[in-house]
Amino acid sequence: MQTVAILGRPNVGKSSLFNRLAGRKIALVDDTPGVTRDRKEVEAEIGGVPVRLIDTAGLEEAAPDTLAGRMTASSESALRQADLVLFVVDVRTGLTAADRAFASWLRKAPCPVLLVANKAEGRLGMQAAMEAYELGLGDPIAVSAEHGDGFGNLHDEVRDRLQAEPRRGKEDRERPLRLAILGRPNAGKSTLLNALVGEERMITGPEPGLTRDAIAVEFRDAEGPIRIVDTAGLRKKARIEKHLEKMSTEASIAALKEAEVVILVVDALQGMDEQDLRIGRLAEREGRALVIAFNKWDAVEDRTATRRKLEDTLMSSFAQMKGISVVPISAANGRGLEKLMPTVRTVYELWNRRVPTGELNRWFETMKERHQPPLVEGKRIKLRYATMPKARPPTITVFGTRAEQLPEDYRRYLVNSFREQFDMPGVPIRLHLRGTD
Ligand code: GDP
Ligand code: GDP
DSSP collapsed to 3 states, 337-354: HHHHHHHHHHHHHHHCCC
Helix, strand, coil percent values for the chain (each to nearest 5):
40, 25, 35
pLDDT of residue 166: 46
From atom 8 of ligand 1, which residue's Cα is the shortest distance away? Answer: 29
pLDDT of residue 29: 45
Mean pLDDT value of segment 253-276:
87
Cα–Cα distance, 125 to 117 (Å, whole number)? 9
Cα–Cα distance, 284 to 288 (Å, whole number)? 6
Q: Nearest-CA neighbor of 422 among 381, 382, 386, 372? A: 386
Portion of the chain with pLDDT greater than 70, in percent = 78
Residues in the chain, total: 437
Q: Residue 258 belongs to what H/E stretch? A: helix 249-258
> What average pLDDT is seen over the chain?
80
Q: State the pLDDT confidence band at 385, using cuts at 50, 70 and 90.
A: confident
Report the atom number in ligand 2 closest to the C-alpha of 245: 2
Q: How far is CA 125 from CA 17, 86, 208, in A?
A: 16, 19, 18
How far apart are the CA of 246 and the centre of ligand 2, in A? 14
Q: Nearest-CA neighbor of 295 among 179, 174, 182? A: 182
Q: Check if 331 has its Cβ closer than 6 Å to any atom of ligand 2.
A: yes
What SS3 class is residue 296? coil
Q: Higher-confidence residue: 364 or 279?
A: 364
DSSP code for 133: G
**190 labeled part of a ligand binding site:** yes
Model confidence at 375: pLDDT above 50: yes
Q: By the 8 A CB rule, do 13 and 146 touch?
A: yes
Model confidence at 196: pLDDT above 80: yes
The terminus-to-terminus CA distance of the chain in angstroms comes to: 31
From atom 2 of ligand 1, which residue's Cα is the shortest distance away? Answer: 11
- pLDDT tens track for 137-161: 888 898 999 988 888 778 888 988 8
Q: Higher-confidence residue: 130 or 355?
A: 355
pLDDT of residue 215: 58
Report the atom number in ligand 1 closest to the C-alpha of 9: 3
Within 8 A by CB and 6+ apart from 402, the residues are 376, 379, 381, 382, 435
Q: Check if 128 has its Cβ closer than 6 Å to any atom of ligand 1.
A: no
Q: By the 8 A CB rule, do 26 and 40 touch?
A: yes
Beta 214-221 vs 202-204: how paired, if at all?
A: antiparallel
What SS3 class is residue 204? strand
Buried/exposed code over 301-319 (b: 16+ C-beta within 10 A; e: otherwise) = eeeeebbeebeebbeeebe
Within 8 A by CB and 6+ apart from 107, the residues are 113, 136, 137, 434
Q: By the 8 A CB rule, do 176 and 227 touch?
A: yes
Q: By the 8 A CB rule, do 71 and 108 touch?
A: no
**186 labeled part of a ligand binding site:** yes
Ligand number, closest to the Cα atom of 149: 1
Model confidence at 333: pLDDT above 80: yes
pLDDT of residue 1: 81
Cα–Cα distance, 316 to 320 (Å, whole number)? 10
pLDDT of residue 129: 82
Q: State the pLDDT confidence band at 319, using cuts at 50, 70 and 90.
A: low
Sign of the torsion angle spanned by Cα atoms 263, 264, 266, 271:
negative
The preferred substitution site among 182, 184, 186 for testing ligand 2, maximizing ligand atoms within 8 Å of CB, is 186
**150 labeled part of a ligand binding site:** no
pLDDT of residue 280: 87
| Most confident range, picked from 4-18, 22-36, 387-401 | 4-18
Model confidence at 289: pLDDT above 70: yes
Is the pTM higher than 0.80? The answer reads no
Report the atom number in ligand 1 closest to the C-alpha of 34: 2
Question: What's the burial of 68, exposed, middle or buried (CB within 10 Å: 0-12/13-18/19+)?
Answer: exposed
Portion of the chain with pLDDT greater than 90, in percent = 31
Q: Is the ipTM of this complex over 0.90?
A: no
Ligand number, closest to the Cα atom of 329: 2
Q: State the pLDDT confidence band at 171, using cuts at 50, 70 and 90.
A: very low
Model confidence at 31: pLDDT above 70: no
pLDDT of residue 27: 45
- pLDDT tens track for 210-264: 444 445 677 888 888 888 876 443 233 334 444 444 445 666 677 777 789 999 9
Q: Higher-confidence residue: 424 or 255?
A: 424
Mean pLDDT value of segment 157-171:
62
Model confidence at 34: pLDDT above 50: no
Ligand number, closest to the Cα atom of 266: 2
Q: Check if 423 has its Cβ closer than 6 Å to any atom of ligand 2.
A: no
Q: Higher-confidence residue: 237 or 162?
A: 162
Q: By the 8 A CB rule, do 81 and 67 touch?
A: no
Query: What is the number of other CB atoms lying within 10 angstroms of the CB of residue 346?
Result: 15
Model confidence at 201: pLDDT above 60: no
pLDDT of residue 285: 82
Model confidence at 423: pLDDT above 60: yes
Rounded to 5°, the CA angle 217-222-223 comes to 85
How far apart are the CA of 27 and the centre of ligand 2, in A? 60
pLDDT of residue 168: 42
pLDDT of residue 167: 43
